[in-house]
Amino acid sequence: MQIHTPNGDKLSGEITLLGVIADKLRKIQTELADKDYILAIKAYQERLPFVCTGDLIKENQTFTLKNPHNFTLDDLWQN
């Protein structure tokens, strides 16, 4: 959904993504680095869905994905 300004000293940054939580589409904040950050940029630019796992935390009204891993582009949506 959104790629925030990358960190200047390394290839990483915060992103905002959309995910289904309790049958509703919600904004989720997370931080990615290296190849996962590059894949997020590609997904954003090409409007491709992706899949990742991690620990979903709700703080106040904000959802945050901590420890994101297994970040891959979702090729199944094209079938």
Can you give the three-state secondary structure of the chain, one letter per residue? CEECCCCCCCCEEEEEEEEEECCEEEEEEEEEEHHHHHHHHHHHHHCCCEEEEEEEEEECCEEEEEEEEEEEECHHHHC
| Per-residue pLDDT tens over the stretch 22-79 | 999 999 999 998 888 888 888 888 888 888 899 999 988 899 999 999 988 877 655 4
Each domain of the chain, given as residue ranges in start order, spans 2-78
Stated pTM of the model: 0.78
Q: Give pLDDT, residue 27.
A: 93
In this structure, what are the phi and psi dihedrals at residue 7, rounded to the nearest 5 degrees? -65, 135
